[in-house]
Amino acid sequence: MYSRITRFFLMTLISCILFSCKEKQATAKADFVIVKGHMPDIAKDSSGDIHLVYGEGDSIMYRFSSNKGNSFSSPVLVAVLPGLFSYAMRGPQIAVTSNGAVITGCTSKGNIFSYREVNGKWQQGARINDADTVAKEGLMALSADGRNAYAVWLDLRGNKRNKIYGAASNDDGKTWSKNIMIYTSPDTGVCPCCKPSVIIRNDHVYVMFRNWLNGDRDLYLIQSSDAGHSFGAAQKLGKGSWKLNACPMDGGSLAINKTGEVQTVWNRKGNIFTAVPGIPEIEIGKGRGCAITTVGNENVYAWSDENKIICVKSNGTKKTLGNGSLPVLTSLDDAHVICIWQTENEIHGAVVKL
């Protein structure tokens, strides 16, 4: 039999362990203010920590959460980048390699710069675009896997029409490869005001963008199987088309599920569609500025509709999270996702139980 004192210490130890485990579990958390700023982007590392980047004037700012979104660290200045784009889908991007976070930021002059986290401090890497001032739209995306990172953006070089360009890094964002043209429209350029998306997994790179072909502003997917050195033919997503003599300013989002299948979500004529390449699209709501993440093999979506952030769970249930626009999503565990968005001059978040 244990003595009373021994039992007391055992119970104390068990309580501490249980409390510690509970702290590491995500819990549903309604709309909360994270910080003042604009155009947030998030990424999750292999330990489950959430990394957040955003713009504040010409400053690229960074925070992280090590307790699954329950709280975030104090803001850290990554860099001051004169003319930083941080509005209308144009903002700093973040991804996480096996050695730390990588951030990209674009200036109004059309240059993209990279920054990487080294031993808890931020260092500037190389400029990503190897031709000067060609990314004047400021629309770019970033992904990472292992030590590899891949950046894509709208690029004006050559005929002054926007094309999809990309560059790879195999050293955690320190240096970047020679830029390659991933896609150019045979008609005009690609849609000039819609943000592209990118995901890299091992040697596979997937890029989604809104094309401008025969007057149609439809979403296309293009893939690489050699780490982004070359790409195959672009494939239209969905069966319908959107003939529009204007720019939707809405690029959609993509994700890869547990079995490696590409999942996409995008807006057409104010309706939100999800689609798998080669399969007809499915309408799931109304709105714009949509995002997607996967939890196992289930999709979770978010978008804005009349200044309300809507989250659609894997079972189809819709939940209004708060006021704002341009949400971004990532999974926290098998039962929760975190959604972060912008409202006026603040960045908000919510942890959603599935």
pLDDT in tens, 156-182: 999 999 999 999 999 999 999 999 999
For the 29-353 domain, the top CATH level (class) is: mainly beta
Please state the rounded mean pLDDT for residues 150-156: 98
Least confident interval from 99-103, 119-123, 164-168, 226-230: 119-123
What token pair was written down for 238?
Answer: 């969905």
pLDDT score of 18 more than 70: no
- 305 contacts: CB under 8 Å, gap ≥ 6: 285, 286, 287, 288
The answer to whether the beta carbons of residues 112 and 166 sit under 8 Å apart is no
Instruction: pLDDT band for 241, please (50, 70, 90 cuts).
Output: very high
What rounded mean pLDDT belongs to the chain?
92
Instruction: pLDDT band for 25, please (50, 70, 90 cuts).
Output: low
Instruction: pLDDT band for 24, please (50, 70, 90 cuts).
Output: low
3-state helix, strand, coil in the chain (%, to 5): 5, 50, 40
pLDDT score of 6 more than 70: no
Instruction: pLDDT band for 34, please (50, 70, 90 cuts).
Output: very high
For 36-63, write each residue's pLDDT tens digit.
Answer: 999 999 999 999 999 999 999 999 999 9
pLDDT score of 4 more than 70: no
Instruction: pLDDT band for 26, please (50, 70, 90 cuts).
Output: confident
Task: Quote the percentage of the chain above a pLDDT of 90.
Answer: 88
Q: List the helix and strand counts (H, then E) for the chain.
A: 1, 28
Cα angle 268-272-277, degrees, rounded to a multiple of 5: 80
pLDDT score of 153 more than 60: yes
Please state the rounded mean pLDDT for residues 311-332: 96
Of 36, 62, 38, the C-alpha closest to 51 is: 62
Cα torsion 202, 204, 207, 208: sign: negative
| pLDDT at residue 8, rounded to an integer | 35
pLDDT score of 321 more than 70: yes
Instruction: pLDDT band for 296, please (50, 70, 90 cuts).
Output: confident
| pLDDT at residue 255, rounded to an integer | 97
